[in-house]
Structure 1
Amino acid sequence: MGNHQTLQNTLYFNQISEISQDIWNDLDCNNKLYFHPKYLAALEKNNSHLDFFYVVLKNEHNKAIAFASVQMIDFFIDSLQNENQSILTNIACIGRKLRILPREKPLKILNCGNTFVSGEHGIFIKSDQNKRKVLRKLAKAILKYSQQQYQDPDIFIIKDFLEESLPISNELISLGYYAFNVEPNMKLNVNSHWNSFDDYLNALKTKFRVKAKRALELSKGLKTIEITSKNIDDQLVSMTNLYQKVASKAYFNLGDFNLKTYKDLKEQFKEDYILKSYWLQNKMVGFLSGSIHENILDAHFVGIDYRYNKQFAIYQRMLYDYIDIAIKQKLDTINFARTASEIKSSVGAIPEHMTIYIRHKKTITNKFLKLFLLRIQPTEFHQKFPFKMGSNSV
């Protein structure tokens, strides 16, 4: 299915490779990793269980001014006994009981955003535009195309907006979307005076420094290996098994990530894509991944063998390794992403609230959805304050 124009100044594409260099030149978003064509091509190539499409808006001078990345997801509902039910599983189960969602078939979800990374990575609008107006046009264009090509998804999601974006993103409410908060991104501002990991440790209150040193002592028996595009093939099976152990516990998980994507990301982005595995003797017990862009380190997926996690402080060691990387590379910020908020706060991360917009294809059902969403709250956690007074002022 090639690209075609169905609305004035609106273009749709089913593959990144169909988008011309002229459009990318107009958008000028190559400095943003998650809108880089090579990043999007790696996701598309390795995650064929999703249907991808892309929307480009042009202005009256035929110049591209906005871009949206969209995925169609078949969401399969796990056993109702799963103790780690996600938001979507809950929505689907209640929807089926009320007979407003299909019983036998998977839930068809349209997601505008990055299925695999939290943050504002689904919609790019040039800074000189009226963003509310353009967002509205994009949302309508996505709806129109999905009705033509996919016989109406059950659920539409546009994610994840930071607090400062809400005056713009709340425009979606007038199109029938409901806003709700998901678990926050946990963010650590890296102090510009930290020149080494020891400087970070010295900035901690005694209790948290003791905890960090204990975790580093427990994890001394772990061997780490830098994963490269050359050695990744030997590690992918173990990595995938460990990733599945973590993904099964996720509260908001739209779909499984194919770890073969890492090979392409490593080849394309070299040292700016970080992959590291953790070993006990000859057994892999963990891995971490992340990307460096715009002076930020984004922590991506991790894998953990929970049988060894407590004894060898695997996860805590990963968090400290992310911090060590950010300090060495003189970065400003670490985005630790969602989940495990309390332990992330204990290393110094603070919550950055995010909003998702969701709607059902049918107006009446959408009203039921609103009532249900009102009951959903992010998991509460006890925020820790590990730094000495003033020691983490950037």
Structure 2
Amino acid sequence: MIDPDNTTVKVGTDRKIVEFVKDIPQDDWNKVADNRNIYLSLGYLSALESALNDKMQFRYAISYSDTGEPVLIAVYQLVVFVDKRRQYSGVLCNLSYHIHKKIADVFTINVLVCGNVFCDGENGFLSRVITDDEAMDEVAAITESLKKEPSIKGKSSITLFKEFWPDSTSYSDRLKNLQYRDFMVDVNMVLNYHESWCTLDDYLASMKTKFRTRAKSVFSKSKVLSIKDFTVEDIEQNSERIELLFGNVLEKSDFSFGQLNARAFVNFKRNLKDDFSFRGAWLNDELVGFSTALFNGTVIEANFVGLDYEFNKEYSVYQRFLYDYVEQGLNRKMKELHLGRTAELVKSQIGALPTNMKLYAKHRKSVSNLLLRPIIQSISPSEFELRIPFKENFK
């Protein structure tokens, strides 16, 4: 989170919090960001805000040292948590009067998030020349200040920090001293690229026969598909179909924190160029699936897929995209592929391993915060059978 050349200074009392990317002091922001996380780049943030500012609120914060140097940046999203299966609605009803909707099989509640609900990982803040502990304390202080804003106080009941890798919990656990409750959801599936892999054939050759045969089956079933990179114009021209395919996948989820649209994908491609991958799978003249990914330093982050389930099984569209992610990372000489949550079994079959990530939640009222306990205790990573596809002597 902090930069490696850490020469500790003191965090001052000066902060700047704005609602729009255009109002961010760019030089100060970039001095802290230093191209270390694409999700905290102004190009990414402006693309997201432009697409969704009519659906959700954003806040951007910069903290300064006692000598006026920018030392920390943080991003917040005020979003609507949608529990489509009403797994937690009974308890949530007791937590807040700020319920957005509770009808049929849909329950929603407003949440203030430090981080990014559209990706996994530590994408809420970055710091420089201060310690990790100081950075965590400062972000917590910014959050408390934000929660007092009239436009947020009247809408948000729960505050969420998402989400931290195991190596970061030594400082993120400081939030528990402020009555935040920690919990884990489904694991992030991560594939580490082996130094001997130069091509997809190298990768496949390292697999046990069973899994290599399975991969070849996927390629055989999907050989009729034409997978192509999309330009800005391609995304625009196929936006209606893209949103339909994306909606098919989202419909299967139990809950969500908001929904991207084709306009966001257009903006990402326009602003991030080759660091944003949008790939479409064509069957004859019909778009039957798409995948997106971000190249974030030495990591390729698989973000979203859209599928036509009428064709998915017969042509192994989804699994073909997984191998395509592997190949994209090889071509760009990445070190890791982050495949995110869900479909853990299938992702383990291509070599990804599970990594637990920790989140922290807190209700704005102390009594109601106690009622979070049954929700938190009921949330845990899904169980699945881990597959190890690589040969026993492959390390």
Identify the residue that residue 4 of structure 1 maps to in structure 2.
none
Deviates more, 1:65-74 or 1:258-267: 258-267
* Displacement of 1:375: 2.0
The counterpart of 2:276, out of the listed 273, 278, 282, is: 273
- Structure 2 residue matching 1:90: 3-state secondary structure: coil
For 1:90, give the aligned amino acid: Q
3-state secondary structure, aligned to 1:220: coil
Alignment of 1:77-96 (within 5 A): 77-78=83-84, 85=85, 89-96=86-93
For 1:160, the aligned partner's letter is E
What is the rounded CA distance, in whole Å, between the counterparts of 1:26 and 1:220 in structure 2? Answer: 46
The letter for the 2-side match of 1:10 is: R
Decide which moves more: 187-196 or 346-355. Answer: 187-196
SS in 1 for 2:233: coil
Give the superposition deviation at 1:25.
Answer: 4.3
Return the match for 1:258 from 261, 267, 284.
Answer: 261
Partner of 2:104: none
Runs of 5+ unmatched residues, structure 2: 1-11, 102-107
Alpha-carbon contact 2:190-2:336 (below 8 Å) kept: yes
Q: 1:338 aligns with which of 338, 341, 344?
A: 341
Q: Which amino acid in the other structure matches residue 127 of structure 2?
A: I
CA distance in 1, matches of 2:45, 2:96: 34
Q: Distance in 2 between matches of 1:75 and 1:189?
A: 32
Instruction: Name the SS for the 2:187 alignment partner.
Output: strand
Which position in structure 2 is the counterpart of 1:14? 19
Q: What does 1:105-254 correspond to in 2, within 5 Å? A: 105=101, 106-126=108-128, 128-149=129-150, 150-152=152-154, 153-251=156-254, 253-254=256-257
Q: For structure 1, list consecutive stretches of 5 or more residues without a partner in the other structure.
A: 1-6, 79-84
| Structure 1 residue 307 corresponds to structure 2 residue 310 | yes
Secondary structure of the residue aligned to 2:340 is coil
Q: CA deviation at 1:99?
A: 6.2
Query: Which residue is equivalent to 1:81?
Result: none
What's 1:47 paired with?
A: 52
SS at match of 1:30: coil
Give CA deviations for 1:10-52 in whole Å, capped at 9, x if unaligned.
2111111111133124314334211111111101110120100
Once the two structures are TM-superposed, the CA of residue 77 in structure 1 deviates from its matched residue by 4.8
- Is 2:76–2:115's contact at 8 Å kept on the other side of the alignment? yes
- Distance apart, 1:259 and its partner CA: 2.4
Q: Given residue 135 of structure 2, which amino acid in structure 1 is its aligned partner?
A: V
Kept in 1: contact 2:72–2:125 (CA 8 A): yes
Whole-Å Cα distance in 1 between the matches of residues 143 and 232 of structure 2?
Answer: 35
Which one of 329, 350, 354 corresponds to residue 353 of structure 2? Answer: 350
SS of 1:213's equivalent?
helix
Q: CA deviation at 1:100?
A: 4.3
Give the drift of 1:384: 0.4
Change (3 A) 1:195 1:214: same
CA RMSD of aligned residues (A): 1.7
Instruction: For 1:77 and 1:28, locate their aligned partners in 2 and report how far apart those are by CA, in whole Å.
Output: 34
Distance 1:61 1:252 in 2: 45
Match of 1:29 among 34, 37, 58: 34
- Inter-CA distance 92–124: structure 2 relative to 1 (3 Å threshold): farther
CA distance in structure 1 between the partners assigned to 2:255 and 2:193 by the alignment: 27
In 1, the alpha carbon distance for the partners of 2:318 and 2:30 equals 41
Query: Equivalents in 2 of 1:258, 1:246: separation in Å?
Result: 13
Whole-Å separation in 1 of the counterparts to 2:303 and 2:229: 16
Distance 1:76 1:351, change over 3 A: closer
Q: 1:41 to 1:331 in 2, by over 3 A?
A: same
Flag the 1:372–1:284 CA change in 2: closer, same or farther, 3 A: same
Question: Which string of whole-angstrom CA distances, capped at 9 and with x for unpartnered residues, describes residues 307-357 of structure 1?
Answer: 211111111100011111111222111111111111000100001110110
Q: 1:274 to 1:259 in 2, by over 3 A?
A: same
- Bigger Cα displacement from structure 2, 377-386 vs 225-234: 225-234
Matching residue's letter, 1:146: K
**Contact preservation (8 Å) 1:251, 1:339:** no
What is the count of residue pairs matched by the alignment? 375
Summarize the Cα distance change of 1:163–1:104 in structure 2 as closer, same or farther, 3 Å threshold: closer
Write the deviation string for residues 66-91 of structure 1: whole angstroms up to 9, x where unpaired. Answer: 1110011133554xxxxxx3xxx533
- Answer yes or no: is the 8 Å Cα contact 1:221–1:280 preserved in 2: yes
**Which secondary structure state, in structure 1, belongs to the residue aligned with residue 185 of structure 2?**
strand
Match of 2:238, SS? Answer: helix
Residue 65 of structure 1 corresponds to 71
Q: Which deviates more, 117-126 or 69-78?
A: 69-78
Alpha-carbon distance between aligned partners in 1 of 2:177 and 2:283, rounded to the nearest angstrom: 54
Residue 284 (structure 1) aligned with residue 290 (structure 2): no
Distance in 2 (CA, whole Å) between partners of 1:215 and 1:22 is 48
